[in-house]
Structure 1
Amino acid sequence: MLDLGRTFLQSFERAPGATALVDGEQRLTYAQWAQQIGAVQRGLTALGLKAGDHLVSVLQNRMEAATLHWACQFAGIVMTPLNWRAKPEEITHCLKDSGARVLVYEQVCSLAVSEAMQARPATLVFVGEGEGAGTPYADCFGGEAMPVPQATAQDLSLMLYTSGTTGAPKGVPRRHRAERVAALAHVAQNQYGYGERTLGVMPLYHTMGVRSLLALALVDGCFVCLPQFDAAQALRSIAQERITHLYLVPTLYHDLLAHPSFASTDVRTVRRLGFAGAPMHDALLQRLQQAFSPELFVNHYGSSEIYTFSLNQDAVGKPGSAGRAGINTRLRVVKLEGKSVDALAAPMEEGQIIADMLSDEAFEGYHNRPEANDKSLREGWYFTGDTGYVDADGDLFVTGRVDDMIISGGENISPVEIESVLSLHPAVDEVAVAGLKDERWGQRVVAFVKRKQSVSSDGLDQYCRTSALVNFKRPREYIFVDEIPKSPVGKVLRRKLVAGEYLPEANPAQPT
């Protein structure tokens, strides 16, 4: 199998003059980008890095981040990207855990990096404008040179750190072959053609961002960098760069549609929509279908550990369904209390979703975390920690996390089903449901609602009573908030809602 460096050379050899990378006013063809990648590869060697070493980056989605990723693939260096919003202790942990001796960063995270250096010194390379400790990027990686493949398909390509809700982040090492197979599957399952153009806004420390970067190189495509998500800039990029597909988390789609400029933006070049990272509620699905009229609308369900679990290529036709196993995957839903991978849940019975570790896209275990492996890897299967069920047609529905399950009066209640119902109310902009402690019921169902029109708790309760939602799942309380707390990639942070870490609505509308 080809390694990723040779994979990039395929596009360089097929289409050297095709536009490969855009970052603001900067535009590079594959031929030009290859020369920059080669210069970075040469610079990494000069820094003393060799095949198998880790390189930590703390960067936004910019040209240097994408170039650095590819240079590491040629050099056999393990790219180890971190969230640019990471706290000093997180950077320190990841430096120690990976053994990385070089860190590349930019101004936006300079304070956190500076503090981390006091606990774990490393050679620093500073990217972009402003002042920062270390050697400027241009001094380390300037000039031009053709990249030289020095890795094999069996070598490590990447180590992503999972955010996790408790404990230190876990490193997920992935080999070239798994990364390449995952990118190939992404191309096939989203029906990409040669010359695709995507909005590179999903961060390159997240599997969605990495998958977009690699998939585009497989089809001689163009990756349009967007350092931070800004709806106005994203809409301008879609129109100016003639973006052909979007692969985003639901929150970013919501923000695109909510922006005043959306109605006047030409989005007709966008023919495919894909989403992952969180469920998309029915109301947003319908609005996106109407706004884009896409040829393909894919709900993609996966993780850093095994990129694709399942996909639904008709997200609007069967709302909420994550479809069926991807082309490289086997899935099961096992009983929540089950101890064996053979303890299958019945159709429509909620259980834990597990995936076969023989998948060509799978990792092989967490880095330096045997206790995490013992918890998640059993009998050759990966226990995802996600809950879901398979319907009578054989389609998978993901209902949340095992840790998010609300147990009220002895009943297991999934937040996602309730959120989908409430999302269709015309006054609801966003909604998240969590279980709060209750002396009588153990937990009570509480809905946190961001309103776009005036509505009362009684109005929402009456709406739920007339829906298909069974009575014991109805929220017993509604809390109106200005924002739903989310992670940097748009996942709802229910733990913050449970802990009371949210902002109540500052200027409550008069309820109706």
Structure 2
Amino acid sequence: MDLGTLFEFAVERHPQFETLIQGNTRFTYREMNVEVNKLTSALQDRGIRQGDRVVVVLKNRLEMVILYWAVQKIGAIFTPINFRLSPEEIKYCVQDADAAAVFYEPISEKTVLEAVKDLQIVKISVLGAQGADVSYEELRVNGTGQFDRPVIHDDDICLMLYTSGTTGRPKGVPRSHKNEYGAAVAHIIQNQYEVQESTLGVMPLYHTMGMRSLLSMVFLNGKLVMTPDYVPQSLLEVLEKEQISCVYLVPTIFHDLVYHKDFEKYNLAALRKVGYAGAAMTEVLTAEIFKKLKPRVFVNHYGCSEVYTFSYCNYLDKKAGCAGKPGFHQNLRVVVPDPEGNSTPDDLVPPGVPGEIIVDLRTSEAFQCYWNRPDATQKALRGGWYFTGDMGMLDEEGDLFVLGRLDDTIISGGENIHPLEVEDVIAKHPKVAEVAVTGLPDPRFGEIVTAFVVPKDPTLTEEELDCYCKESNQLSNFKRPRKYVLVSAIPKSPVGKILRRKLRNGECQELYLKRESAS
């Protein structure tokens, strides 16, 4: 079964249901299918064929959704990348993908044109962006809606996501129709979604979380409300106006919503199912979501672009921050960590001992290999298991707790310290808005635990934080930060992951720096 066919099934099942909304523009399934078919025929007329990579450098807007489904009907490969990338990064992705076409809009016009100026590629603009061979609007007007439907198999590649590349060049992750179908089904089951749900299109469509929202809504004849520009108050307005029933967001967005000064003005009674992924959530924020949103379903989803689901937890009221049990299609283990990639799937660690999380590759959600990167494939895929590079620990009940990246582990005085357990303690301080912990070089200890803190109250001091950590019964003394840096913001990726390398490199704005605490 291919995704384009599944989209058409949804159209035939409930053609009158609303499916795609942005501002004052609203499409039913029937109306969107007309738009998709116009674009499909026009792309074929422009020479886009089955298997071609179509790079997309757009914000989350309705044109991107329509383009996604058109690409699926052709049997081409939808290749979205972050519109904030530099010209060099865009050029790398376009060349690595050997793309046939690139879509861009005004915000990405300058970088895309610079990136592809020496490349043979069809340039297609959206919303009046300049320098294109043809515009999206021209394709739409000229498209006949008649196209040649290729034979598409479920193991054909339909999507290529590029990883964030925090430790080097981004890696292309090719995903088949089977992979994407399996991930969508798992997402629906694990979040307890039903027919005609509605959600926000706020998570980037160049990220696996955005793709889950897109596909799950179509499979259930649901409604996707696109929000090209992220403004917390605008999201609150859309949540109320559109009676959104479920959301799947990063913790940062949940934080911005529930702590918004006007939160209490909005009626969010329709919002009964919430889920998060992409980063850890503090116990404090978890409790605030339960208190203010009162969700019927609250899920922590743990996974990645390569293998959508590792695990999920829907009992966060009992175990805040827990990643829970293996997903619907999944099995997992925790093994002896080895940054050199020499550990095997049988090198298990006992409950309560940190190790590297690995997941079974027999799931329908798992990719087969990285694009043009046999070296990365060989390191990550071993013995039928995907080595995630994440540190985790199983408790006595078999529940997983994620501790951070293997290369984020702080080694101080020979002790392994995982940032998340320190962050979770500091985040409970009433004067702390956000915190990120990493290791900074130290001549004596190798690294010292360093906490970068965004104050909620300007009177917050280093001494106050250090006393708080000393008095905590959740934090061993050797894990206590030896240095505190008060900053205006924590650097994060577009999907909310803390960029610890930027903290280690000093790429943050200090508010003021107190002296180091006594050891």
- Relative to the length of structure 1, the TM-score reads 0.97
Residue in 1 that maps onto 2:31: 32
Residue in 2 that maps onto 1:455: 460
- Which amino acid in the other structure matches residue 202 of structure 2? V
- Which amino acid in the other structure matches residue 425 of structure 2? V
Is the Cα contact below 8 Å between 2:394 and 2:400 reproduced in 1?
yes
User: Higher mean Cα deviation, 114-123 or 223-232?
Assistant: 114-123
- Which amino acid in the other structure matches residue 76 of structure 1? G
Give, in angstroms, the shift of residue 101 of structure 1: 1.9
Residue deviations 1:98-125 (CA, integer Å, cap 9, x gap): 1112101100011111110224342111
- Which amino acid in the other structure matches residue 437 of structure 2? V
Residue in 2 that maps onto 1:90: 89
Q: Percent identity?
A: 46
Is the Cα contact below 8 Å between 2:79 and 2:160 reproduced in 1?
yes
Query: d(CA) in 1 for partners of 2:323 and 2:379?
Result: 24
Is the Cα contact below 8 Å between 1:34 and 1:147 reproduced in 2?
no
Is the Cα contact below 8 Å between 2:41 and 2:146 reproduced in 1?
no
Query: d(CA) in 1 for partners of 2:148 and 2:407?
Result: 46
Residue in 1 that maps onto 2:135: 136
Residue deviations 1:63-122 (CA, integer Å, cap 9, x gap): 110111111111100000010101111111111111112101100011111110224342
Residue deviations 1:215-236 (CA, integer Å, cap 9, x gap): 0011000010011221011111
3-state SS, counterpart of residue 510 of structure 2:
coil
3-state SS, counterpart of residue 323 of structure 2:
strand
- Which amino acid in the other structure matches residue 113 of structure 1? V
What pairs with 1:29-428 in structure 2 (closer than 5 Å)?
Answer: 29-142=28-141, 143=143, 145=145, 150=150, 151-337=152-338, 339-428=343-432
Which of residues 501, 505, 508 in structure 1 aligns to 2:511? 505
Is the Cα contact below 8 Å between 2:449 and 2:483 reproduced in 1?
yes
- Which amino acid in the other structure matches residue 463 of structure 2? D
- Which amino acid in the other structure matches residue 55 of structure 1? V
Query: d(CA) in 2 for partners of 1:465 and 1:46?
Result: 68
Is the Cα contact below 8 Å between 1:449 and 1:480 reproduced in 2?
yes
Give, in angstroms, the shift of residue 146 of structure 1: 6.9
Is the Cα contact below 8 Å between 1:42 and 1:141 reproduced in 2?
no
Query: d(CA) in 2 for partners of 1:158 and 1:128?
Result: 24
3-state SS, counterpart of residue 505 of structure 1:
strand
User: Higher mean Cα deviation, 88-97 or 141-150?
Assistant: 141-150
3-state SS, counterpart of residue 433 of structure 2:
strand
- Which amino acid in the other structure matches residue 92 of structure 1? K
Query: d(CA) in 1 for partners of 2:456 and 2:118?
Result: 46
Is the Cα contact below 8 Å between 2:485 and 2:513 reproduced in 1?
no
- Which amino acid in the other structure matches residue 60 of structure 1? K
Give, in angstroms, the shift of residue 506 of structure 1: 6.8
Residue in 2 that maps onto 1:493: 499
User: Higher mean Cα deviation, 464-473 or 200-209?
Assistant: 464-473
Query: d(CA) in 2 for partners of 1:112 and 1:506?
Result: 35
Is the Cα contact below 8 Å between 2:104 and 2:129 reproduced in 1?
no
Structure 1 unaligned residues grouped into runs of 5+: none
Query: d(CA) in 2 for partners of 1:148 and 1:47?
Result: 13
Query: d(CA) in 1 for partners of 2:417 and 2:287?
Result: 25
- Relative to the length of structure 2, the TM-score reads 0.95
Query: d(CA) in 1 for partners of 2:182 and 2:164?
Result: 24
Query: d(CA) in 1 for partners of 2:362 and 2:23?
Result: 41
- Which amino acid in the other structure matches residue 494 of structure 1? R
Query: d(CA) in 1 for partners of 2:452 and 2:446?
Result: 19
Give, in angstroms, the shift of residue 387 of structure 1: 0.4
Query: d(CA) in 2 for partners of 1:230 and 1:64?
Result: 20
Aligned length: 507
- Which amino acid in the other structure matches residue 105 of structure 1? Y
Is the Cα contact below 8 Å between 1:275 and 1:298 reproduced in 2?
yes
Give, in angstroms, the shift of residue 392 of structure 1: 0.6
Query: d(CA) in 2 for partners of 1:392 and 1:416?
Result: 20
Residue deviations 1:434-475 (CA, integer Å, cap 9, x gap): 000000000000000001112211111111112121110001
Structure 2 unaligned residues grouped into runs of 5+: 515-519
Residue deviations 1:4-30 (CA, integer Å, cap 9, x gap): 111111211111000000011110000
Give, in angstroms, the shift of residue 149 of structure 1: 5.2
Give, in angstroms, the shift of residue 358 of structure 1: 1.0
Query: d(CA) in 2 for partners of 1:69 and 1:187?
Result: 20
Query: d(CA) in 1 for partners of 2:147 and 2:292?
Result: 42
Query: d(CA) in 2 for partners of 1:500 and 1:193?
Result: 46
- Which amino acid in the other structure matches residue 406 of structure 1? I
Query: d(CA) in 1 for partners of 2:475 and 2:409?
Result: 17
Is the Cα contact below 8 Å between 2:485 and 2:512 reproduced in 1?
no
Give, in angstroms, the shift of residue 267 of structure 1: 1.0
3-state SS, counterpart of residue 322 of structure 1:
coil
Give, in angstroms, the shift of residue 258 of structure 1: 2.8
Query: d(CA) in 1 for partners of 2:290 and 2:109?
Result: 41
Q: Which runs of 4+ in 1 moved over 6 A?
A: none
